[in-house]
Structure 1
Amino acid sequence: MQTKAHTRIRDHEVPCPVPKAAREPFQEGILEGVLEELASVLFTSLPRSDQRRKGLEYVQGLLGAEGRKSIRNISSLFGGEAAEQSLHHFISGSTWDWDPVRRALARHLEKLSPARAYVLRPMVIPKAGDNSVGVDRHFFRSRGQTMNAQQAMGVWAASDEHSTPVNWRLHLPETWLEDETRRRQAAIPETLLPETLDQAGVAAYLDIVRDWGLPVRPVVMDAREADVADTVRRLRTAGAPMLLRVAPDLRLSAVDLSMPYTGGGTEMTAHQLMLVARPLCQPVILRYPGSTADAVYTGLTATVQVRLPQHAVRRPTRSRELLLLGVGENGGRWPAELWLTDIADLHPAHLLRLTRLVHRVDRDFTRIAERVGIRDFSGRSYSGWHRHVTLASAAHAIAMLSGAAGSVGEVARAS
């Protein structure tokens, strides 16, 4: 069930004004070939030719309209008031299913450029009123203020070079799920039950590997404000490898009893354990394939075998051992980051490389997803929101495949 603790929004998710340059449309000539190819794959599930045409127009509008990607701005590229009404019905009032479109997008990307991992990333959509589906009052810790916002979790297929959102789950607070009037007005399916934001992310990932038949790949996630034990349990039940960024005060027990000062397996915070493991640090250098000399990340890593506290695990077993990865930089704070993983067969340098995919996604969110209006839907319906973010994800993929995502060198420097 939803609790007050889950209304906090992660610091990197505090919305900032989108720069004017980021609202400029993409160049039509660069996108045309990619758009035609992807459109032929995406819309095969739409039963009618007019729906397929509207889907293509909407994606074109997300790529080509100036300013905010509202239905009015998008329809201005294709006609007047009649075009606006038609597109509004296509997004908010039609019956086409967005799930096959997302599945087609994810499978197409998997063929073109397989992902290294799936990054679960929250998205916050500030709202002025309280009518948009799922909007609620949330506290922004870094700003010290409360504001209206929708929250969603996106699953991003990520590699060193680029990333694209392929699935979404809109978080619905109990204030919406327990209000029959709100549910009816927003057409929220009766099957939807309360879940935390982090549970929504795991569920969206499971859709990909269970229902869409895509390969199981590691889940990378910022879990510093999540219920780590619950997230680990859900992912392990699904057989999903994981790499979770955790808070310094997460309590763990060292499995290696020979480690000094760990008190024979006594619980300590993740930060304390990694301070003890400081002598185990090893330097790592990440060089990105095909990159220039400056696309290099250097740092320090150390790993400790750990176990979650037994009281935090619903079904205590002997197989709960995990690896705590500490990350820092020469001459910098140690540890700067803490990650929990069950991927024990990878060298720390490879684990570190996976953690950097979070920066890849953050960067692509700003450079591409924001630019195609991923947060711009202003309608009130549950289905309308999902159709908009589905087509915005397709527009993101087209821009990315056309070379608009930026170089790996930019990602390395951002790391």
Structure 2
Amino acid sequence: MAGDRTPLTPARVSRLPAPPLPGPEERVTELCTALLSGFQRYEQRIRARQYMDGLLHAQGRKSIANIATTVGVPGDEQRLRHFVSRSHWAVGTVRRALAAFLEEDGPPSAWVALPVSIPKAGEHTVGVSRHLSPDGKHVVNGQRALGVWYASERVVAPVSWGLELSGDRQQAGRDTGGGSGPEKGGPVTPDCLHDLLDDVRQWGSTRRPVLMDARGRDEPRRLAALFAGRAPAAARISGWTPLVGGDRTAPGGRVVAARDALGTTLRVRRGVRAEPLGGRPVATATAAVRLAGAEDRSRREGGRLTLLGVWREPRRAPGELWLTNMDEAATDSLTSSARLLHAVGDGWRTRGAAVGLGDYEGRSLHGWHRHMTLASGAYAMSALSSPGQAKASGLSA
């Protein structure tokens, strides 16, 4: 019939259900597969899996003997010892695979550089010396190491390491480890930060900032290495860090302490605002500065830095001081970046201790780098397999 218009019923479109997101166990299996791909020989993959399983499950100190007792059979202790100290495999390949896997969930919010002291009872373990702790408050007998960590809102995990040697111990490192540079197990100087950061930037996100708590005895060297290039970086500094004013509102050409450089800028109160930080109101202010002693380099490279002060008590000294080469918009986010530093530090002390990051007792620098690489893989497995680990690490919103 001409006037009969029956409404049409749209055809029902069947849709396939979205594939479920991989659970923690699947992610750990995928990570293990990615790490083992860095080994050329089947036997090496077997030993790497044994070693990481032992780091995860052995009770007490994660010595090679303890690892072999936990996951191996008679004879495996010697095989594992050879695998860590003598077998030919490149730690850089495994570290690169670890960083690439972690970035699959999204690029890191930042790379975090963490200087640590690893106490040792004796003097025969590689890299042991008497030195000040990273915060400069205690004398430690042990190793001085530097780790670079992947840090995102979902997970934190170490990806690369350097160990400081000095004097005749550097020669001992060459004799027992062979090669040079962190990837080949050679000696690493106190200024290795720049080299380690070059590695991780080649492996992953090149424009993500590097964060570091630079306070302590080695602060000047850490800051010089951190800001040596144009890559984005930020460091928490002490109030006594020597700086030179970089604009008209700061002391012209005079070397002053960081807290004084910022105090002069506060007279104009430009950039002071209230923001939530951990549920508490804060005020921030900035000043343009340069590192003392680096004026010529800063002018040549266009490396003017920004000093950021954070107040929780307006009538007192700033509770935090940050130095960064990032622009004003990025500087605003530094008030929330401190939690990444805290999460990495907490991870080192808790999960890091649980997987044996500080337990290597051998004399081979080559072996130390391999132990730290495998322990970093075990750390990442542990982090990915723990439900709600981001919340436990203080990374949740």
Fold match (TM-score > 0.5): yes
Q: Distance in 1 between matches of 2:156 and 2:32?
A: 19
Q: Residue 186 of structure 1: which of 173, 176, 182 is its match?
A: 176
Q: How far 1:209 moved relative to its partner?
A: 1.6
* Secondary structure of the corresponding residue to residue 138 of structure 1: strand
Whole-Å Cα distance in 2 between the matches of residues 110 and 245 of structure 1?
A: 25
8 Å contact from structure 2 (residues 39, 45) kept in 1: yes
The equivalent of 1:195 in structure 2 is 189
Alpha-carbon spacing, 1:268–1:144, altered in 2? closer, same or farther (3 Å):
closer
- What is the 5 A alignment of 1:99-114? 99-114=92-107
Question: After superposition, where does 1:291-302 map in structure 2 within 5 Å?
Answer: 296=279, 298-302=281-285
Could you list the per-position Cα deviations for residues 257-284 of structure 1 after superposition, in whole angstroms to 9, with x for gaps in the alignment? 2x3xx55454321111223344634221
Residue 366 of structure 1 deviates from its aligned partner by 2.2
- How far apart are the structure 2 equivalents of 1:301 and 1:409? 28
* Residues 81, 378 of structure 1: alpha-carbon distance in 2 compared, 3 angstrom cutoff: farther
Q: How much does 1:331 deviate?
A: 6.0
Whether the 8 Å CA contact 1:368–1:404 is kept in 2: the answer is no
1:255 counterpart = 2:237:
no
2:48 maps to which of 55, 76, 88: 55
Cα distance in 2 for partners of 1:100, 1:388 equals 14
Distance 1:83 1:160, change over 3 A: same
- Match for 1:39 among 22, 32, 38? 32
Give the fraction of aligned pairs with identical amino acids, expressed as a percent: 35
Contact 2:163 2:187 in 1 (8 A): no
Instruction: Find the counterpart in structure 1 of residue 20 from structure 2.
Output: none
Give the structure-1-normalised TM-score: 0.79
SS where residue 268 of structure 1 aligns?
strand
Check conservation: 1:284, 1:298, Cα contact below 8 A: yes
Cα offset for 1:184? 5.3
CA contact (8 A) 1:136 1:150 kept: yes
Q: Given that residues 84 and 367 in structure 2 are in contact (C-alpha distance below 8 angstroms), is that contact kept between their aligned partners in structure 1?
A: yes
Deviations 1:84-138 (A, max 9, x none): 1111111112111111011000001011232111110012111222221111121
Corresponding position of 1:291: none
Amino acid in structure 2 at the alignment position of 1:398: M
Matched with 1:131 is 124
Q: Which residue is 1:215 aligned to?
A: 206
Q: CA RMSD in A?
A: 2.9
Q: Matches of 1:277 and 1:123 in 2, distance apart? A: 34
CA distance in 2, matches of 1:332, 1:405: 38
Q: Which moved more, 1:353-362 or 1:221-230?
A: 221-230
CA distance in 2, matches of 1:145, 1:268: 27
User: Residue 391 of structure 2 aligns with which residue?
Assistant: 408
Tell me by how many angstroms 1:238 deviates. 3.5
Indicate the residue corresponding to 2:256 in structure 1: 268
Shift of 1:349: 3.7
2:390 is aligned with 1:396:
no
Would you say 1:312 and 2:294 are equivalent positions?
Answer: yes
- Tell me the CA shift for residue 404 of structure 1: 5.7
| Equivalent pairs, count | 367
CA distance in structure 2 between the aligned counterparts of 1:64 and 1:382, rounded to whole angstroms: 25
Structure 2 residue aligned with 1:70: 63
Q: Residue 227 and residue 365 in structure 1: after superposition, are their counterparts in 2 closer, same or farther (change >3 A)?
A: closer
5+ long unaligned stretches in structure 2: 1-22
* Equivalent position amino acid for 1:362 in 2: G
Q: 1:106/1:347 Cα in 2 relative to 1: closer, same or farther (>3 Å)? A: closer
Secondary structure of the residue aligned to 1:128 is: coil
Aligned to 2:232: 241
Whether the 8 Å contact between 1:284 and 1:349 is mirrored in structure 2 is: no
Q: Secondary structure at the match of 1:411?
A: coil
CA distance in 2, matches of 1:141, 1:345: 29
Task: Please state how far the C-alpha of 1:334 moved relative to its aligned partner.
Answer: 2.1
2:358 maps to a residue whose letter is: R
> CA offsets, 1:300-358, max 9 Å, x none?
3211122334x434535162321101122136842122111111142544121223311
Separation of aligned partners in 2, 1:236 and 1:252: 14
Aligned to 1:24: none
Q: Matches of 1:142 and 1:97 in 2, distance apart? A: 32
Report the AA paired with residue 251 of structure 1. Answer: P
Matches within 5 A, 1:367-406: 367-403=350-386, 406=389
Computing the radius of gyration from Cα coordinates, the structure with the larger value is 2
Letter in 2 for 1:157: Y
The offset of 1:402, in angstroms, is 1.5
1:79 corresponds to 2:61: no
TM-score, structure 2 as length reference: 0.82
